[in-house]
Amino acid sequence: MRPLIYTQHPYQWPTIGKHPSHIENVTLELTKAFFSKHYSPSNAILTVAGDVRPDHVFTLAQKWFGDIPAGKPYLRNLPVEPVQTSPRKLVLERNVPLNHIYMAFHTCSRMHKDFYSTDILCDVLSYGDSSRLEQALVKEQKLFNDIQAFTMGSLDTGLLAISASLNEGVDFAVAEHAIWQQLNALKECRVPDFEMQKVKNMAEAALVVSENGIVARGFSLAYFELLGNAAFINQQVDAYLSVSSELVQNLAQNIFTPSNASVVEYRAKN
CB neighbour burial string for 171-182, b if at least 16 within 10 angstroms, e if fewer: ebeebbebbeeb
Predicted local distance difference test score (pLDDT) of residue 31: 93
Predicted local distance difference test score (pLDDT) of residue 140: 97
Where does the pLDDT of residue 224 fall: very low under 50, low under 70, confident under 90, or very high at 90 and above? Answer: very high
Predicted local distance difference test score (pLDDT) of residue 14: 86
Predicted local distance difference test score (pLDDT) of residue 153: 84
Q: Report the share of the chain in percent with pLDDT over 90.
A: 85
pLDDT digit string (tens) for 68-81? 999 988 888 999 99
Predicted local distance difference test score (pLDDT) of residue 210: 85
Report the chain's mean pLDDT, rounded to a whole number.
94
Rounded Cα distance between 211 and 27, Å, is 40
Q: Report the share of the chain in percent with pLDDT over 70.
A: 100
Looking at residues 133-141, what average pLDDT do you find?
A: 97
Predicted local distance difference test score (pLDDT) of residue 46: 93
Rounded Cα distance between 68 and 122, Å, is 44
Single out the residue of 265, 258, 255 nearest to residue 124, CA to CA. Answer: 255
The correct CATH number of 88-268 out of 3.30.830.10, 3.40.50.1000, 3.40.50.620, 3.40.1110.10 is: 3.30.830.10
Question: Which residues belong to CATH 3.30.830.10 in the chain?
Answer: 88-268
Strands in 88-94's sheet, in edge-to-edge order, are 88-94, 261-268, 100-106, 159-166, 144-151
Looking at residues 118-122, what average pLDDT do you find?
A: 97
Residue 222 confidence (pLDDT) above 80:
yes
Rounded Cα distance between 29 and 31, Å, is 5
Predicted local distance difference test score (pLDDT) of residue 19: 87
Where does the pLDDT of residue 211 fall: very low under 50, low under 70, confident under 90, or very high at 90 and above? Answer: confident
pLDDT digit string (tens) for 35-91? 999 999 999 999 999 999 999 999 999 999 999 999 988 888 999 999 999 999 999
Residue 151 confidence (pLDDT) above 80:
yes
Predicted local distance difference test score (pLDDT) of residue 181: 98
| Residue 192: partners with Cβ closer than 8 Å, 6 or more residues away | 245
Single out the residue of 89, 83, 8, 131 nearest to residue 255, CA to CA. Answer: 83
DSSP letter at 81? P
